[in-house]
Chains A and B, each alone.
Chain A
Amino acid sequence: MRDFSYLRANSLDAARQAAALPGAMLLAGGTTLIDLAKCGVAEPDSLVDITHLTGLNSIDVNERGATIGALARMGHVADHADIKSRFPAISEALWQAASAQIRNMATIGGNLMQRTRCPYFRDPMNFPACNKREPGSGCSAMGGVTRGHAVLGTSDACIAMYPGDLAVALVAFDAIVHLGERQIPVDDFFLLPGTTPDKEHAIEPGEMITAIEIPGTAAARRSTYLKIRDRQSYEFAAASAAVGIEFEADGRTIRDLRVALGGVATKPWRARAVEDALKGKGLEPDAVRAASLLAIQGAVDHGANHYKIELAPRVVARAILRLGETA
């Protein structure tokens, strides 16, 4: 572990200035950063501790939507009464993420910056080739242990899976990431690996996530997050789905549908093809199952992760049908 300097920022501007310096990283809950430092992926020269900044941990919910400060803890957001009632998928995604201990420490802004669990990415000492760490160095995962790797959004350079839960729900409900003044849709905040897997987020040096805004919609109010995994807790998704639904006045025709997938893609994966196929239609189980297959259009497996292609559409279909049952 290399020595690094530690700065406790006392204002947002000071934090952004300090974090803009080469080798600087922001420190919030630390649950990801310390982990990455221990495995040698993160080697910061300086840490800028933003946990003492005030005004960044509020959770404001009203008719128009929710605004969650970047420093709000995962656990607080998960248990917030208005989030639970107006954005159940958000609360459920958070409850099923990580462990209670981690949720109590980790912040919402930090959660968006969570990095992949690809074991090759996380082991620079033993696997020097990783395009995400060292552009152009190659990919050690392809041909290796791939059970947890992505089947959607992959490229020749990288198949690392985006592991988080919250952002899947955020993508489904068109959340907006506030980077101070600049605002960017969360779907655009996460980048596909393409030829530049090292660039994961549309955030520039000197920028900092300050808040996440989620528009209040009928679909968000009637939503759920379904996460499938071998272990009941403290495991990343084998496949997950964030789904929200709004019916027409007849109570059965789908007016609005939101579908996003987790555990299967290189970024939180909005499945608009499924949405488009079902909007304006009734909630028929067979039609839902058929439409859900569109969620894995273009999927490519790398051996052991093939099962995700089978699993993901079933998870989507179940989530949609379950929301329908609660009509």
Chain B
Amino acid sequence: MTLELSLNQQPAHARQGSSIGQPLTRRDGFLKVTGAARYAADNHPPGMLYAVLAVSSIARGRVASLDVEAAKAHKGVVEVMTPQNRPALAADPDAKDHPFMFRLDLLQNDQVRYPNQSIAVVIAETLEAATEGAALLSPRYEVLPARVGLDGAESFVPRGVGVGGPAVQHKGDVEAGLKSAKTRIEATYETPAQYHNAMEPHAIVVAWDGDTLSIDTPSQGLAMAQGRIAGLFGIAPENVHIRSPFLGGGFGSKGMISGPQILGILAARLVGRPVKLVLRREQMYGPVGHRAPTRQTLRMGMDGEGRLTALDHHAKTTSSTFDDFFEPAADASHTLYASPAIATSHDAVRLDTGTPLFMRAPGEATGSIALESAIDEAAYACGMDPLEFRLRNYAEVEPMTGKPFSSKALRECYRQAAETFGWASRPLQPRLMRDADGFLTGWGMGTATFPAIMFQAEARAVLKADGSGVMETGAQDMGQGAWTAFAQIAADGLGLDIDQVDFRAGSSDLPNAGIAGGSGHTATAGMAIHNAGAAVIARLADLATGDEASPLYGAGNEGVLARGGRLYRRDDESRGESYAEILTRAGLTEIEGHGKGAPDPASQENYAKHAHGAVFAEVKVDPDFGQIRVTRLVGAFAAGRVINPRLVRSQYYGGMIWGVSFALHEEAITDRRSGRIQNANLAEYHVPVNADVPSVEALLVHEDDPHVNALGIKGVGEIGITGTAGAVANAVWHATGVRPRRFPIRIEDLLG
């Protein structure tokens, strides 16, 4: 889709030279603040009906009965979809052909395996009628006891964690390292279940036309969603057209198409009319993923100089009873701190919950808060400043693999952030700083890191005889600024000013842009765009340099520069001509080029690739009430090439605020008898409000990385959470002397 820019609000400086590196405002910002941006649920095709899910009250058992007649008798209800009449699927929703295929609840039977599982869909002329119809189903259940909590079932060692990494890894002899240590610490930390809670609920508007599907739904991975839908319905992927121009947040929960979205498609099939299905907030607590809780135990040994002799990180986590996703929390200890012996291990229990899923910084966020807390404890045990301790254990090569880093400007991050924060005046002992109002004041720090991941993506570039360009890739903007950053890369790739480029994204009929996840979207789709631009410019240069009438005749591909809609001789920039002239003379209305983005296998093999950062936090704690407020956050991050510093800073801010949320606010609280989450709403599932975030600063540390990809891009979407959560926890300790071991940290933890 093309962004319908109703105003050209780009600053003038963007129109000259390189677009990459310019702090452009969001090209979609005007549409969003005026309400003109059309999100999935804003669509309303003619004849559309409303579908509402009926979801299970119980965590485990079976649906014994549903009063379908009562629902159908309600005015406006058109149909009720249950396991009895649900249209057939071409594939088993419980099949798992590969680790990224998650089992879906699509009314395949009467079994209930978690609270809020879909048990029926009511389709009606109005949302209100469908909602009431769902209530009238009055389900009766055969109930089995819910398995709840980290000790709710027998634990086992999963075959793989995260995207399939080994659950247990080690190098060196951890026990020997601990034994030889002068100082040892051991600590256990618990993190809660968290839910993505994107502002925009999962929504789908779907219309069938024969065997083709027209779908509006938010998706972080259009081609994957297209393939999954095609497989389930036995139709060709090109018959599935998905539009997803804007996502109101995703955070991983919209990475894979979810069960409720498929149920919307099934409902439309059943009634033969377009259907809209939008999840209610509380229905997002179950079928669309969550971050699993963890209990992590870290053991560290240090020699007399504060050097790690051993690092052991064990994480226990949870998954559903019917599918596999295991939060790879302990893997956070693979990359940050040098130690001759490192061991990481995981075990898990299966509970009556929906399947956990990737949630912004999966593994890294949960692992980081425990690791950074433990590092803080270790530094204190050694009588060292936490920054000095981290520098003493600075990893010059990736600790677990011994690979060199493709780039690592972490020392500079530490230096800049510490200086800006004023860290040097921090007393070593806790509970020594008070402000003028008597609040206990504490300073803490954490190291941030996130791998520089790339997936696979494609792009198509077109140059037109009028001198303008088109760049197409099915990229997804979930608020991070893809519409803008990719247009900047496209402009430079095409050698055009940004307002001469029609950048098209957000639709499955465009080239596959891969997934907006893993902090890899800008690098992956960005490289596809860059390469597509290079390919079409190469064709244009062929035309020009092979044409005797051109001033570029004979310059050869390597001898030509593309800038501002013109090609120039590299050796003589006074000689050049415009794209329009070249194409017009060649009698072509347009030419095109294709490009791919993918990780380079050789550099994958030879280098460890990570973004890094350092975060410093100040908290104030009321000594009588245990009420915690974060008053200052300073982060410095090095993540390779910065495409747009304004957007990158926003990503860091968002991540850092999420880190505050992790440390102090977010927790899904489960009723242990029923297995139901009791705060499944935005009033009581807390994230920080503006007043909780008084001052956030994100410093961009320069970093050239020649190995990650030709553009030098790492990724910025998730790293801000890591480091920050631990920094806040460590600041709470420094303020109070109480070591947080359970997150989020609450008033009652500090009441004393």
A147, B629: Cα distance in complex, Å: 20
- List 17 contacting pairs A-B, 8 Å CB cutoff, sorted by A: A119-B684, A120-B678, A125-B57, A143-B673, A144-B678, A145-B679, A230-B686, A230-B744, A230-B747, A231-B665, A231-B688, A232-B629, A233-B690, A238-B747, A311-B626, A314-B624, A317-B624
A154, B690: Cα distance in complex, Å: 35
A279, B627: Cα distance in complex, Å: 30
Shortest C-beta distance, B143 to chain A (Å), equals: 12
A191, B128: Cα distance in complex, Å: 34
Q: For residue B670, which residues in chain A have a CB less than 8 angstroms away from its CB?
A: 145
Given contacts A119-B679, A145-B678, A315-B625, whether A232 and B673 have CB atoms under 8 Å apart is: no
What are the 5 A-B residue pairs with the smallest beta carbon separation, nearest first? A307-B748, A232-B691, A145-B678, A119-B678, A126-B57
Q: For residue A125, which residues in chain B have a CB less than 8 angstroms away from its CB?
A: 57, 135
Does any Cβ of A come within 8 Å of B144's Cβ?
Answer: no
Q: For residue B751, which residues in chain A have a CB less than 8 angstroms away from its CB?
A: 307, 310-311
Residue of A nearest to B57 (CB): A126
Does any Cβ of B come within 8 Å of A234's Cβ?
Answer: yes
Which range holds the interface residue count of chain B? 35 or more
Does any Cβ of B come within 8 Å of A80's Cβ?
Answer: no
Could you tell me if A117 and B691 are in contact, using CB atoms closer than 8 angstroms? no
Contact with A along B733-752 (1 / 0, CB 8 A): 00000000000101110010
Does any Cβ of B come within 8 Å of A235's Cβ?
Answer: yes
Given contacts A1-B132, A125-B57, whether A231 and B678 have CB atoms under 8 Å apart is: no
Could you tell me if A2 and B671 are in contact, using CB atoms closer than 8 angstroms? no
Residue of A nearest to B75 (CB): A3
Q: For residue A231, which residues in chain B have a CB less than 8 angstroms away from its CB?
A: 665, 686, 688-689, 692
Does any Cβ of B come within 8 Å of A40's Cβ?
Answer: yes
Which range holds the interface residue count of chain A? 20 to 34
Within 8 A of A (CB), among B10-47: none
Q: For residue B744, which residues in chain A have a CB less than 8 angstroms away from its CB?
A: 230
Could you tell me if A234 and B683 are in contact, using CB atoms closer than 8 angstroms? yes
Residue of A nearest to B745 (CB): A230
Shortest C-beta distance, A262 to chain B (Å), equals: 14
Could you tell me if A1 and B746 are in contact, using CB atoms closer than 8 angstroms? no
Does any Cβ of B come within 8 Å of A318's Cβ?
Answer: yes
Contact with B along A94-138 (1 / 0, CB 8 A): 000001000000000000000001011000011100000000000
Does any Cβ of A come within 8 Å of B676's Cβ?
Answer: yes
Q: Within the complex, which residue of A2, A147, A228, A314 is in contact with B132, where a contact is CB–CB below 8 Å?
A: A2
Q: For residue A235, which residues in chain B have a CB less than 8 angstroms away from its CB?
A: 686
Q: Within the complex, which residue of B628, B664, B669, B688 is in contact with A145, where a contact is CB–CB below 8 Å?
A: B669
Residue of A nearest to B622 (CB): A228
| Dominant secondary structure of chain A at its interface with chain B | loop
Given contacts A232-B691, A314-B625, whether A144 and B128 have CB atoms under 8 Å apart is: no
Does any Cβ of B come within 8 Å of A229's Cβ?
Answer: yes
Within 8 A of A (CB), among B616-631: 622, 624-629
Could you tell me if B132 and A126 are in contact, using CB atoms closer than 8 angstroms? no
Q: Which of B's residues lie within 8 Å of A, judged by CB?
A: 57, 75, 115, 128, 131-132, 135, 622, 624-629, 664-665, 669-674, 676, 678-679, 683-684, 686, 688-692, 744, 746-748, 751
Could you tell me if B671 and A228 are in contact, using CB atoms closer than 8 angstroms? no
Q: For residue B747, which residues in chain A have a CB less than 8 angstroms away from its CB?
A: 228-230, 238, 307, 311
Q: For residue A238, which residues in chain B have a CB less than 8 angstroms away from its CB?
A: 747
Q: For residue A144, which residues in chain B have a CB less than 8 angstroms away from its CB?
A: 671-673, 678
Residue of B nearest to A122 (CB): B681
Q: For residue A117, which residues in chain B have a CB less than 8 angstroms away from its CB?
A: 683-684
A127, B672: Cα distance in complex, Å: 13
A233, B625: Cα distance in complex, Å: 16
Interface centre among A3, A147, A231 (most CB of B within 10 A): A231
Q: For residue A318, which residues in chain B have a CB less than 8 angstroms away from its CB?
A: 624-625
Could you tell me if A233 and B674 are in contact, using CB atoms closer than 8 angstroms? no
Q: Which of A's residues lie within 8 Å of B, judged by CB?
A: 1-3, 40, 99, 117, 119-120, 125-127, 143-145, 147-148, 228-235, 238, 306-307, 310-311, 314-315, 317-318
Other 5 A-B pairs with CB < 8 A, given A117-B683, A145-B669, A233-B692: A228-B627, A228-B747, A233-B690, A306-B748, A311-B625
Q: For residue A127, which residues in chain B have a CB less than 8 angstroms away from its CB?
A: 674
A94, B751: Cα distance in complex, Å: 26
Residue of B nearest to A119 (CB): B678
Could you tell me if B665 and A230 are in contact, using CB atoms closer than 8 angstroms? yes
A252, B132: Cα distance in complex, Å: 62
Residue of A nearest to B691 (CB): A232
Given contacts A126-B676, A144-B678, whether A230 and B128 have CB atoms under 8 Å apart is: no
Could you tell me if A230 and B627 are in contact, using CB atoms closer than 8 angstroms? yes
Shortest C-beta distance, B211 to chain A (Å), equals: 35
Q: For residue B679, which residues in chain A have a CB less than 8 angstroms away from its CB?
A: 119, 145
Residue of A nearest to B690 (CB): A233
Residue of A nearest to B686 (CB): A231
A149, B236: Cα distance in complex, Å: 54
Could you tell me if B692 and A1 are in contact, using CB atoms closer than 8 angstroms? no
A78, B260: Cα distance in complex, Å: 43
Q: Within the complex, which residue of B131, B664, B673, B691 is in contact with A233, where a contact is CB–CB below 8 Å?
A: B691
A83, B625: Cα distance in complex, Å: 28
A138, B146: Cα distance in complex, Å: 21
Q: For residue A229, which residues in chain B have a CB less than 8 angstroms away from its CB?
A: 627, 747
Q: For residue A228, which residues in chain B have a CB less than 8 angstroms away from its CB?
A: 622, 625, 627, 747
A47, B748: Cα distance in complex, Å: 42
Shortest C-beta distance, A138 to chain B (Å), equals: 13
Q: For residue B683, which residues in chain A have a CB less than 8 angstroms away from its CB?
A: 117, 234
Shortest C-beta distance, A18 to chain B (Å), equals: 22
A307, B678: Cα distance in complex, Å: 19
A99, B135: Cα distance in complex, Å: 30
Q: For residue A306, which residues in chain B have a CB less than 8 angstroms away from its CB?
A: 748
Shortest C-beta distance, B297 to chain A (Å), equals: 24
A277, B473: Cα distance in complex, Å: 74
Residue of B nearest to A315 (CB): B625
Residue of B nearest to A35 (CB): B683
Could you tell me if A3 and B128 are in contact, using CB atoms closer than 8 angstroms? yes
Could you tell me if B692 and A232 are in contact, using CB atoms closer than 8 angstroms? yes
Shortest C-beta distance, B542 to chain A (Å), equals: 59
Residue of A nearest to B749 (CB): A307
A300, B57: Cα distance in complex, Å: 30
Residue of B nearest to A238 (CB): B747
Shortest C-beta distance, A290 to chain B (Å), equals: 15
Shortest C-beta distance, B507 to chain A (Å), equals: 34
Shortest C-beta distance, B70 to chain A (Å), equals: 13
Q: For residue B628, which residues in chain A have a CB less than 8 angstroms away from its CB?
A: 230
A235, B631: Cα distance in complex, Å: 19
Q: For residue B671, which residues in chain A have a CB less than 8 angstroms away from its CB?
A: 144-145
Shortest C-beta distance, B685 to chain A (Å), equals: 11
A229, B665: Cα distance in complex, Å: 11
Shortest C-beta distance, B79 to chain A (Å), equals: 19
Shortest C-beta distance, B190 to chain A (Å), equals: 15
Interface centre among A99, A120, A145, A238 (most CB of B within 10 A): A145
Shortest C-beta distance, A179 to chain B (Å), equals: 29
Interface centre among B57, B75, B664, B670 (most CB of A within 10 A): B57
A311, B132: Cα distance in complex, Å: 43
A194, B626: Cα distance in complex, Å: 32
Could you tell me if B746 and A230 are in contact, using CB atoms closer than 8 angstroms? yes
Q: For residue B748, which residues in chain A have a CB less than 8 angstroms away from its CB?
A: 306-307, 310-311
A1, B133: Cα distance in complex, Å: 8
